[in-house]
Structure 1
Amino acid sequence: MFSEKTIEFLKLNKLNNSKEWFNDHKDEYEEYVLLPLKELVYSLTSFMQSVDPLIICDASVNKTISRIYRDIRFSKDKSLYKEEVWVSFRRDKKIYPMYPQYFLVISPYNYTYGCGYFATDNKTMNIIRNLILTDDEKFVYTVNELNKQKIFGLGGEKYKKLQYEDMPETIREWLNYKCICFEKRSNDFSALFSTDFSKKLIEQFADLTALYKFLIYVEERKLMDREKL
């Protein structure tokens, strides 16, 4: 399970920014960072596949688990290692690019978890906005389900200028984001380090099932629109 040593390694690895240091402490990375990430994937596999059998649940780096190395080829920041690690549950991105996902991101300062898009395209957001503005029954159901929980809220980047000012506030909130993601950020590491963290995470992720299925519905609508062309 995750521990203070997980956070300590992420801090020190970023601070040292050295292949030599990382190689000297690779056993610590594998024990305190990689192993807990793999264990989390194993624990969540049954739940994820019950939500969507097409979700990838391979507990491997570059499948559900992030790389610790940064790609610095086109970046001004030449730091060798990431300061945060994550697990991501989504369909095969080669077949289903830019699809919604469940995620947990851990940094030395906090951790964030939720469901939605990290990024998407204009076509996707246009479909979502149309479903919102026409009171689509699947959207209405999703909002009602999300209103039953108190853990997650809309997150991500908003438009600088307020959109759809004449709409009710609860709906306008959806329309003011550049992509849709419900997330929870916490610096209560005691919860992350607890032995029942994966169990609680499943319980909370279950509250986002309607959101995930709504976003899959959006992607299916986008595919249908493309096939009509």
Structure 2
Amino acid sequence: MSRPTARKAAPKGEYIETDSGNKVSRRSAITGTANITLGGRTVIMAEVQLRGDLHSTRVVPSSTGKDVTPTAISIGRCTVISTGSVIRPPYRISRGQIHYYPLKIGDNVFVGPNCTISAIQIASHVHIGANTVIGPFAMIKENVKILENTVVPANMIITAGSVVGGRPARVVGEVGEGWGVGSTGGVGVGGGGEKNWVEGGDLRELVRSIK
């Protein structure tokens, strides 16, 4: 009697997709998942590090009356974190102790490959070029374009509508009217649908194209 043939396991895709449409690469490194929130239709690519383990140790009361640990990293809707980027909350040292502060990223934010981000806040419709470093407690307002290889110093505030570049970063222009509106594609990340999105615009088409 012959042995029954073993059934081959179905191949696993690159991304795990959640009920809210988030796509998280199986090759990403996410620590402290309980302290990370993703708003929906957000993409976390391969080799991205999300450091949710670096969170405040103080607890705050919630609406249910129970004490909870504050969220370490909050990422909004339709945001793309590209390959090799590191997202970590900022911290200060006081009386010999490290105190971490929550990092908030808005909607429709594109983070290019190999970026290191430790800002306190990045607002919506921000495009961050590849190999950018954003220092602790920097604050990026709405509709900002950060050029590739930029180093944003700690505590820098970038005003809405700015184009920023340099090491250290400085404002080199304005995005102008029509930012985020148009038919030309942004930086390609694969999947074939990148020509349907624009820098600073709605990233739903880009998210849809990533498989």
Which has a greater percent of helix?
Answer: 1
Task: Return the TM-score normalized by structure 2.
Answer: 0.25
Task: Return the TM-score normalized by structure 1.
Answer: 0.24
The structure with higher relative contact order (CA 8 Å, sep 6+) is: 1
Which has a greater percent of strand?
Answer: 2
